[in-house]
Chain A
Amino acid sequence: MSLAGIRAKVSTALSGISGLQYSSKAPAVVNPPMAFLALSPTEPISYDFTAQNGSLVYHFYVEVLVSMGAALEQAQDHLDNYLLSAGSSSIKAALEAITWTATSADVCRVTGVSNYGNVVYGGTEYLGARVNLDVWRSS
């Protein structure tokens, strides 16, 4: 599966979370609460997990941004809902429910959450976190 195909799968998964805007790529404009998929800047892809240009891993993250609003406490509660490991608002649960096909990626794992805190995006400050996602594709 192409990167575009994986982005589409993730977008479809995120679309199931009520009230959350989503994008398959980093958007020009954020409409919070919003989540978008991006490749890890430090190591986007790990190649050669098997011989002859075989399995590889895409290292993505889902950036989740919520409005700072009037009270930071409320913003944290709002963001925390998306970071639960289960439930209808859980990004982890939505991503792990993706059905990959034999001709696409094989399996994914949500490895954790990082970068929880204030995020300035497009000149506006949000409260955000990154849900880190590894996607494996076999040969």
Chain B
Amino acid sequence: MLMHGRNAAIYINGVDLSGELNAITPMSEQDMHDITVFGHLGNSVYPGLAKDTATIEGLYTDTERAVFEGMIQISTGYGMMVFYSATAATTGSPAHACNEVMLKSNSIKSVVTDVNRVSVSLSTINRPFEHCVMLTSRIATATATTNGTIINLAGSSATTGGAGYAQITHVGSTGPVTLLIKHSSTGAFAGEETTLVTFTAASSSEAQRVAFTSQAFQYLRYVVSAITATTASYAVALHGDSW
């Protein structure tokens, strides 16, 4: 199914920047080392470490400025999630997520005939973008403990190891919210399900990546296991290493 850019969503460090940005280009790249030896008729290379990047274009706004100017000379990169969909919000849609991105460049273009625009370049740190499936339909909001929609991974169920990603975009007053990812081999979720990923309780907007080493079963859903905040908003995605 085709997916349209107008339905993309972009979250960085717990901030929903979708309404500020109009183009996002995560690019997977890797070092290529020359292994050409005598006798080869052409150049030969062997892949090295990933060095992914992303470019972003958008409008120069207070929200955009706060995020990207806040990234200047940070020591720990920001978590990032990009959601793609055929509709504005669909659970199970693909996404790219990264535990840490750092600001490479941030330029502002002010032209007399147009609104001010920005162009941002980011570099991933330590690990590349990871392909994910969204367990929320874009941003979900909870005011009490709740269970998300069950996602059937079908042929992707045999993955061993991976990571859960959460972008918590809002936590209301009076306390934290705790998110889990639960999985089941049957899809019943009648008590047989177990916890695959436990995110750290969040008291403010933030991004998290939590790795797991076990097998991820075919059926998954996110769970708000505890919430004392008046309301919390979040996006949750899962990556399997073998996907």
Contact = CB atoms under 8 A, between A and B. Distances in A.
Interface of A: 48-55, 106-107, 109, 111, 136, 138-139
Contacts of A111: 113
A111 B114 CA distance: 10
Interface stretch (B6-14, B100-108, B185-193): B6-14
Nearest to B58: A50
B22 interface: yes
Interface in B118-151: 138
Given A138-B59, A138-B61, A51 B22 contact: yes
B61 A52 contact: no
Given A49-B22, A107-B115, A55 B5 contact: no
Given A48-B6, A49-B59, A54 B115 contact: no
Contacts of B113: 109, 111
Contact of A52 (B9, B59, B115): B9
Nearest to A55: B59
16 contacts: A50-B18, A50-B20, A50-B21, A50-B22, A51-B18, A51-B21, A51-B22, A52-B8, A52-B138, A54-B18, A54-B20, A55-B19, A55-B59, A106-B115, A136-B115, A138-B59
Interface in B181-204: none
Contact of B19 (A107, A109, A138): A138
Nearest to A57: B115
Q: Closest 3 A-B residue pairs measured CB to CB?
A: A139-B19, A54-B19, A52-B18
Interface string B1-33: 000011111100000001111100000000000
A111 B192 CA distance: 64
User: Which of B7, B10, B59 has the largest count of A CB atoms less than 10 A from its CB?
Assistant: B59
B35 to A, nearest CB: 42
B153 interface: no
Contacts of B21: 50-51
B9 A51 contact: yes
